[in-house]
Amino acid sequence: MEAFFNPRSVVLIGVSRHTGVGAYNGLEMMQRYGYRGKIFVVHPEAGEILGHRAYRQVRELPEVPDLAVLALGRDRLLGVVEECLAKGLRRFIIISQGLADADLRGREIQEEIVARAKATGAKIVGPNTMGVLNAFTGFSTAFVDLPRHPEPPPVTLIAQSGAPQVGAESFVGPLGQAIDLGNAADVDFVEVLEYLEHDAHTKVIAIHMEGLRRGRRFLSVAGRVNRRKPIVILKTGRSAAAAQAALSHTGSLVGADEVFSAAFARAGLTRVRDTTDFLDTVQAFRKLPRLKGRRIGIATPSGALGIMAVDALTQEELAVGPLPPRITAQVEPLGPAWHRLHNPVDLWPIGMKTGDYLALLRETLVGFLQHPDIDGAVAMLPALSSPLHRNIIAAAEFMASLELARYDKPLVVSVYGDYREKLRQELEEVPGVACYFAVERGIRALGHLYRYHQATSRPLETWESRSSYASSPENIEQRLTTGGAGPNLLLGREALDFLAGYNLPVLPGVLAAHVDEAVKAAEELGYPVVMKVISPAWLHKTERGGVILHLSDETLVRQAFATLASKVKELTPEAPFGGLLVQKQVSGREVLLGIKQDATFGPVVVCGLGGVQTELWQDVAQSLAPINREEAFGLLASLKSYPLLTGYRGEAAVNLEALALALCRLSHLALAEPDLVELDINPLIATPEGCWAVDARAVFREGRMTPGSS
Amino acid sequence: MEAFFNPRSVVLIGVSRHTGVGAYNGLEMMQRYGYRGKIFVVHPEAGEILGHRAYRQVRELPEVPDLAVLALGRDRLLGVVEECLAKGLRRFIIISQGLADADLRGREIQEEIVARAKATGAKIVGPNTMGVLNAFTGFSTAFVDLPRHPEPPPVTLIAQSGAPQVGAESFVGPLGQAIDLGNAADVDFVEVLEYLEHDAHTKVIAIHMEGLRRGRRFLSVAGRVNRRKPIVILKTGRSAAAAQAALSHTGSLVGADEVFSAAFARAGLTRVRDTTDFLDTVQAFRKLPRLKGRRIGIATPSGALGIMAVDALTQEELAVGPLPPRITAQVEPLGPAWHRLHNPVDLWPIGMKTGDYLALLRETLVGFLQHPDIDGAVAMLPALSSPLHRNIIAAAEFMASLELARYDKPLVVSVYGDYREKLRQELEEVPGVACYFAVERGIRALGHLYRYHQATSRPLETWESRSSYASSPENIEQRLTTGGAGPNLLLGREALDFLAGYNLPVLPGVLAAHVDEAVKAAEELGYPVVMKVISPAWLHKTERGGVILHLSDETLVRQAFATLASKVKELTPEAPFGGLLVQKQVSGREVLLGIKQDATFGPVVVCGLGGVQTELWQDVAQSLAPINREEAFGLLASLKSYPLLTGYRGEAAVNLEALALALCRLSHLALAEPDLVELDINPLIATPEGCWAVDARAVFREGRMTPGSS
């Protein structure tokens, strides 16, 4: 990656002779940005562009540059890449659009280029990219004339667009380095992260992501890098992701966007909700130490702003900390006799009296920051340009004099007034303080800091490959070829037996093809029993009357068999009669457990409210498989219906330990069965004694499981 | 109010001799702001301040000024107000802090001042206020040196703090006028709104609200004014409001903050969620025409930003509109052959080719705005200071040339890049376009515009006084004095009879003191029946086993009576045995209906999921009483559990008409019974035939209902 971020020499191919306004000439921009390495230009006719001799052909170049930047029409790309490879070039930034971003033909070209490059060990950034920006060395491949930061901060952006580079002020704040992966046909987030892990100019990593390949590898690498260099992610495309089709409850209840959130949370990464949050949170990580607890001290010149701060803290699940005695002792006596201090500390009545607001603010902030029961502070600061308020607008100098580094606690300042933009710029230079134009924005960023602290206090996970998970001893292949439900579907008894093969607790039951078998089964299982239609045509069997409960003797079992068998014949005459499932009747809480295969992250395990109200409440929680006991308990506890499991309104609690164990085992099954697409256990009945899968369905990859294949 | 916003003469009392930095001298600020009316000063010793003769006493003033501005210590206030009243002064702005904002003594002083003023017909703004700002006339009472807007916009702020005036740029944008009500001891939101309704300088009203008196009067006036002059409200103190204590389900399920939201929504007012939303939404109302539909056209120089826009539209329940054929015809042919346009329209591949991004943007925006299937547009605009991009930064001129007023549709522009602040200022001058630094912020404001359009398309409501609601023919007084539940509590049969007095459907039942009465009741009602313990000590009777269902014959009734009677004796020996309620057993959906008295808005009617899972899901909706049939249907439809009522998974739908009628009648009861504090009907059983209140409790004001009172 070094050749991308810091090339000693670069060749530009496809650069135009036109320069100036409207030309978007990459060479012109590179010069203006201040690149000091060697620049070569290839152009078939120009002879010379902007003072650089233009070589007519790649092969004429006098040396092999570190990097080629290609901005050609898509139809010429492949040929030029081949010439470059022949010349010995191995690093490419392909600016050109019209590849996989456009249509099928573009995708074909892109794939061919990547294949050629891979065959020689070459690497490609893009296509459809603005390329790389390095404010430290003055290197930029942008076709836009970007301002270069004079003292670049240690923030690196990895994006899938040039817009966050062009509008850094709106998306991430000042940038040290940036790379636009564009279509990410070759170089991806993982490769860049691995490079940035050891890059001295990177301390915070901002990611704009539209899609992701190698999801689990990304989590392994990002999770590790994030421990030392916080990673803040704006993942867009929520609405598109939400529209994915799904085959089962589990699939429809958990959209791909929720899986991204669950996966990032699992790896301890910070996901922001929009571009404003992106900007604010990157600033917080860039400028502030960690927030190690929830307790915040607030200093304000207005009670009204204090209330707004408390609203925002509540929203972020942060807390209004106690008022340190030092503040009561040092600050309160300076004010009017009637004025009592609380947190938020309203300083105005005192400031009006003493005339020196900043002196009071100093005492208050120091009082907060040095107190062990306060984890961070928020100050509201009016910023007015009037010379009559120059005592207040000296705030940046004042903040610097606080020597905030001594306290190792974050301080967020919310500034307002006509001088606010200038004050923000001044505070940019003061370490240990982050400046926002709205108190809610600063406090939202504190919320991210605190969640980061919590997430990175847990042990780091690695994401092992599937190969370490042994598949079921009971061969799934055989079940599918002998079961009646279909070539890629397991239902009822077959599905339960499949689960039992992974030591999941299943309710004993027998698939009875004839009425006498049903009676025998009922007697063996013990009355009362339930009977259910098992058929791919009866997926919603309860609504269609395909389940009969409370069968307490032989007569009732015989009646029920006749009723159900004739119902099947009447309603779905075309479907094969697979028999009726006879199960012991147990009662308890109905829970849904499930697996879905996420396109990015692979197997996801899901739990939620089961039974007939599953779709109504959509009360589910999900995490990537595998999960351990602690994570299983965490998932269960995050359900809104969790109180139903822990002894709702005086009832006995279900056996949570058994439930958590079932979730863990399910998550191992998810990894051991690579061809499993979706699996629902609904319901799993949980009781104080244990839990049992009562009904299940498992869908396998289409085509794979036709009888006779192996 | 004219004397507050536009006084011809003003007297300042309590102004200091100190001026300059740190003095916060109101006279100095008033002069600097440009006030041209007569200024008088009263000071016991100064002789002269800032060129104004200081009168030693109020009575020495040569005339009676329109307005007095008082900034005195709290202990001197009352005396000075009395002197002013004696002089004939009738309008006061009391800047002083330390009144009801501080402690009990301060509250007493404040109340006494207000009482004296009211006795003479005088009006007071404040105390604890920054007072009034009028950029049109140059009048300001602020003790802060505020910049005066050269061309004031028709935006008026009503706040309960000076901070939104001081930091207008952060809270509301440019201001024409502002008033800080402070403690709002006398002049309140209603009075100011009534004035602004006819004020030529006011077209948009921004409200910062901490609390509200005269809630229903406010809704009547604000609802009316809002039709012509949109009202945007930042109501703070969410978290404090959420902490209110409550006695019942209904009370605990609906916090005061939710009632504010429901009340504002009912009146069609726009409530924003934080200060950023406040700023953005006021700008939208100030600068844009109404958004009359959901369909938005998007023009972007980056596919990535288009995705962000779609995410934001989805969040706001707005829609990506169709692509007008004109855009396909006029714009697409200018780009590369492979480039197909969709909405969002990605213009960059074309702009790179033609070099004239703004020309493409013009075609695209005009194409969107003139198309009947598009209701509004969003454009992303890079703003770069480089001279190489001066073709793009001419955007303000370009926008002006579009003559947006022709289309009567809102256009939101999201700008990014190092020139963004300047471009924002330039676009400020262009009518019909609103500028934001983040696309999500602009689209959130569009969401408010659309909801405003919807809300103001409904008929305007007025909020009648309680006197038009007749109370129950069955005297509540008598029920409470003869009932056994307590002096201010109705339970079980008594509560149901109370409801029946308002024509609410209640399940027939009999309170049986003896077992033979229970059997007789069961036979009259028809088997099966249920029996329930009725006692103030058994509020959660289900969990304690105080309810027995499925009593299908006399023997079972006798057994159940004995069981329950002995249980009561055993578990609550101290409580009086009020008998057992015998009711016909009906089965259906369990619904909760309720009433709570909100401290600000009075009676609120609530509906939600009933039965034992009420607390678990907290699925409730609320609105101010009274409601009509349409509103009742709206409330029911807004429940997450609504599908349970409309025929969930093949079941029959309940009788929604009967349920809505019950809600309407309940809302009338709420107004007719002024001493009702809270009422729960839980459950009300809804079936396809109708609905019936099965259990209820009503709490009346403490102290009022002692036996013997009348």
DSSP string, B551-597: E-SHHHHHHHHHHHHHHHHHH-TTS----EEEEE---SEEEEEEEEE
Q: What class has domain A2-232?
A: alpha beta
Q: What class has domain B466-505+587-710?
A: alpha beta
Q: Residue ranges per domain, chain A?
A: 2-232, 285-455, 465-507+586-710, 509-584
Type of residue numbered A419: Y
User: Could B161 and A617 be called an inter-chain contact, meaning their C-beta atoms sit closer than 8 Å?
Assistant: no
CA distance B203 to B154: 5
Q: So what's the pLDDT on residue B542?
A: 78
pLDDT in tens, B448-469: 999 999 999 999 988 866 666 6
Mean confidence (pLDDT) of chain A: 91
Distance to chain B for A165, nearest Cα, Å? 9
Please tell me which of the candidates A162, A338, A390 has its beta carbon nearest to residue B74.
A338
Bridge partners (DSSP) listed for residue A606: A594, A622
User: Could A418 and B276 be called an inter-chain contact, meaning their C-beta atoms sit closer than 8 Å?
Assistant: no
Asked if the model's pLDDT at residue B532 lies above 80, the reply is: yes
Please tell me which of the candidates A18, A103, A643 has its beta carbon nearest to residue B616.
A643
Q: So what's the pLDDT on residue A476?
A: 60
CA distance B72 to B117: 17
Select, from the ranges A25-39, A485-499, B507-521, the one with the highest average predicted confidence (pLDDT). A25-39
Asked if the model's pLDDT at residue A285 lies above 80, the reply is: yes
With vertex at residue B316, the alpha carbon angle to CA B315 and CA B320, rounded to the nearest 5 degrees, is 90
Asked if the model's pLDDT at residue B67 lies above 80, the reply is: yes
Q: So what's the pLDDT on residue A650?
A: 84
Q: So what's the pLDDT on residue B317?
A: 95
The answer to whether A81 and A113 have CB atoms below 8 angstroms apart is yes
User: Could B616 and A640 be called an inter-chain contact, meaning their C-beta atoms sit closer than 8 Å?
Assistant: yes
Asked if the model's pLDDT at residue B706 lies above 50, the reply is: no
Q: So what's the pLDDT on residue A478?
A: 60
CA distance B18 to B1: 31
pLDDT average, residue stretch B665-693: 93
Name chain B contacts of A32, Cβ cutoff 8 Å: 386, 388
Residue B709 pLDDT class (50, 70, 90 cuts)? very low
CA distance B379 to A623: 38
Tokens standing for residue B1: 């109010």
pLDDT average, residue stretch A345-351: 92
Please tell me which of the candidates B170, B242, B644 has its beta carbon nearest to residue A616.
B644
Whether domain A285-455 has CATH 3.40.50.720: no
Q: So what's the pLDDT on residue A472?
A: 58
User: Could B307 and A240 be called an inter-chain contact, meaning their C-beta atoms sit closer than 8 Å?
Assistant: yes
pLDDT in tens, A505-528: 999 888 898 999 999 999 998 899
Nearest chain B Cα to A310, which residue? B239
CA distance A269 to A224: 10
User: Could A97 and B616 be called an inter-chain contact, meaning their C-beta atoms sit closer than 8 Å?
Assistant: no
Q: So what's the pLDDT on residue A339?
A: 92
Nearest chain A Cα to B28, which residue? A388
Distance to chain A for B467, nearest Cα, Å? 37
Q: Can you say whether the dihedral through the CA atoms of A339, A340, A343, A345 is positive or negative?
A: positive
Tokens standing for residue B62: 């040569």
Q: So what's the pLDDT on residue B192?
A: 98
pLDDT in tens, A353-403: 888 888 999 999 999 999 999 999 999 999 988 988 877 767 888 899 999
CA distance A225 to B704: 67
Contacts of B665 (CB under 8 A, 6+ apart): B502, B503, B504
Q: So what's the pLDDT on residue A199?
A: 98
Name chain A contacts of B208, Cβ cutoff 8 Å: 304
Asked if the model's pLDDT at residue B503 lies above 70, the reply is: yes
CA distance A234 to A238: 11
Residue B707 pLDDT class (50, 70, 90 cuts)? very low
Contacts of B612 (CB under 8 A, 6+ apart): A648, A649, B542
Asked if the model's pLDDT at residue B708 lies above 50, the reply is: no
Distance to chain A for B458, nearest Cα, Å? 30
Name chain B contacts of A164, Cβ cutoff 8 Å: 304
Asked if the model's pLDDT at residue A350 lies above 60, the reply is: yes
Please tell me which of the candidates A22, A308, A382 has its beta carbon nearest to residue B236.
A308
Sheet strands (E) in A610-645: 620-624
The answer to whether A158 and A192 have CB atoms below 8 angstroms apart is yes
The answer to whether B347 and B364 have CB atoms below 8 angstroms apart is yes
Asked if the model's pLDDT at residue A243 lies above 60, the reply is: no
Distance to chain A for B386, nearest Cα, Å? 6
Please tell me which of the candidates A103, A388, A643 has its beta carbon nearest to residue B338.
A103
If one counts every other C-beta atom within 10 angstroms of the C-beta of residue B355, the result is 14
Q: State residue B287 phi and psi, 5-degree precision.
A: -110, -20
Q: State residue B223 phi and psi, 5-degree precision.
A: -60, -40
Cis bond leading into B372, ω under 30°? Answer: no
Helix (H) or strand (E) holding A11: strand A9-13
Cα Rg for chain A, rounded, in angstroms? 32
Residue A48 half-sphere exposure toward CB, CA atoms < 13 A: 4
Contacts of B689 (CB under 8 A, 6+ apart): B655
% of chain A with per-residue pLDDT over 70: 93
Please tell me which of the candidates B276, B312, B417 has its beta carbon nearest to residue A167.
B417
Nearest chain B Cα to A444, which residue? B274
pLDDT in tens, A121-141: 999 999 999 999 999 999 999
pLDDT in tens, B16-57: 999 998 889 999 999 999 999 999 999 999 899 999 999 999
A509-584 CATH fold: Dna Ligase; domain 1 (3.30.1490)
Type of residue numbered A268: G
Q: So what's the pLDDT on residue A86?
A: 97
Q: So what's the pLDDT on residue A150?
A: 92
Cis bond leading into A508, ω under 30°? Answer: no
Nearest chain B Cα to A168, which residue? B417
Tokens standing for residue B14: 């309590």
Q: So what's the pLDDT on residue B492?
A: 81
pLDDT average, residue stretch B161-176: 95
Q: So what's the pLDDT on residue B470?
A: 66
The answer to whether A79 and A15 have CB atoms below 8 angstroms apart is no
pLDDT average, residue stretch B695-704: 83
Residue A708 pLDDT class (50, 70, 90 cuts)? very low
User: Could B389 and A145 be called an inter-chain contact, meaning their C-beta atoms sit closer than 8 Å?
Assistant: yes
Q: What is the DSSP letter of A91?
A: E
pLDDT in tens, A149-196: 999 999 999 999 999 999 999 999 999 999 999 999 999 999 999 999
B2-236 CATH fold: Rossmann fold (3.40.50)
Residue A545 pLDDT class (50, 70, 90 cuts)? confident
Q: So what's the pLDDT on residue A361?
A: 94
Please tell me which of the candidates B24, B103, B170 has its beta carbon nearest to residue A420.
B170
Residue B85 or B550, more confident: B85
Nearest chain B Cα to A651, which residue? B543
pLDDT in tens, A352-361: 888 888 899 9
pLDDT average, residue stretch A265-271: 96
Angle (deg, nearest 10), helices B656-672 and B629-637: 110
Asked if the model's pLDDT at residue A244 lies above 50, the reply is: no
pLDDT in tens, A44-65: 998 999 999 999 999 999 999 9
Instruction: Tell me the pTM.
Output: 0.92
pLDDT average, residue stretch B343-357: 90
| The CATH homologous superfamily of the domain defined by B286-455 | Succinyl-CoA synthetase domains (3.40.50.261)
Nearest chain B Cα to A544, which residue? B650
Q: So what's the pLDDT on residue A159?
A: 97
Tokens standing for residue B311: 């995410």
Give one DSSP letter per residue of A467-498, joined into a string: GGSPPPSS-HHHHHHHSSS-TTEEEHHHHHHH
Asked if the model's pLDDT at residue B403 lies above 50, the reply is: yes
Range scoring the smallest mean pLDDT among A249-263, A634-648, B429-443, B665-679: A249-263
Q: Can you tell me which residue has the tokens 């075609």?
A: B363
Q: So what's the pLDDT on residue A429?
A: 92
Asked if the model's pLDDT at residue B146 lies above 80, the reply is: yes
Asked if the model's pLDDT at residue A479 lies above 90, the reply is: no
The answer to whether A128 and A169 have CB atoms below 8 angstroms apart is no
> Best residue in B274, B280, B645 to probe A by mutation, most A CBs within 10 Å?
B274
Residue A80 or A244, more confident: A80
- Measuring CA to CA, which residue among B49, B29, B34 is closest to residue B143? B29
Asked if the model's pLDDT at residue B587 lies above 90, the reply is: no
Distance to chain B for A672, nearest Cα, Å? 35
If one counts every other C-beta atom within 10 angstroms of the C-beta of residue A2, the result is 11
The answer to whether A649 and B542 have CB atoms below 8 angstroms apart is yes
Nearest chain A Cα to B96, which residue? A349
Asked if the model's pLDDT at residue A240 lies above 70, the reply is: no
Number of CB pairs, chain A paired with chain B, less than 8 A apart? 265
Give one DSSP letter per residue of B22-75, joined into a string: TT--HHHHHHHHT--SEEEEE-SS-SEETTEEEESSGGG-SS--SEEEE---HH
Give one DSSP letter per residue of B410-429, joined into a string: -EEEEEESTTHHHHHHHHHT
Mean confidence (pLDDT) of chain B: 91
Asked if the model's pLDDT at residue B704 lies above 70, the reply is: no
A465-507+586-710 CATH fold: D-amino Acid Aminotransferase; Chain A, domain 1 (3.30.470)
Domains B2-236 and B466-505+587-710 fall in the same CATH topology: no
pLDDT average, residue stretch A12-33: 93
User: Could A106 and B640 be called an inter-chain contact, meaning their C-beta atoms sit closer than 8 Å?
Assistant: no
Residue B577 pLDDT class (50, 70, 90 cuts)? confident
Asked if the model's pLDDT at residue A407 lies above 50, the reply is: yes
- Measuring CA to CA, which residue among B216, B211, B218, B224 is closest to residue B190? B218
Asked if the model's pLDDT at residue B247 lies above 50, the reply is: no
Residue range B508-584, CATH number: 3.30.1490.20
Q: So what's the pLDDT on residue A443?
A: 98
CA distance B252 to B608: 13
- Measuring CA to CA, which residue among B167, B169, B175 is closest to residue B150? B175
Q: So what's the pLDDT on residue A42?
A: 97
CA distance A504 to A691: 9
Range scoring the smallest mean pLDDT among A78-82, A590-594, B495-499: B495-499
Q: Can you tell me which residue has the tokens 């916090």?
A: B255
Tokens standing for residue A638: 């995050």
pLDDT in tens, A313-327: 999 999 999 999 999
Type of residue numbered B377: A
Residue A494 pLDDT class (50, 70, 90 cuts)? confident
Residue B482 pLDDT class (50, 70, 90 cuts)? low
Type of residue numbered B422: K
pLDDT average, residue stretch A625-632: 94
Give one DSSP letter per residue of B157-212, joined into a string: EEESSSHHHHTHHHHTSS-SEEEE-TT-SSS-HHHHHHHHTT-TT-SEEEEEES--
CA distance B381 to B409: 19
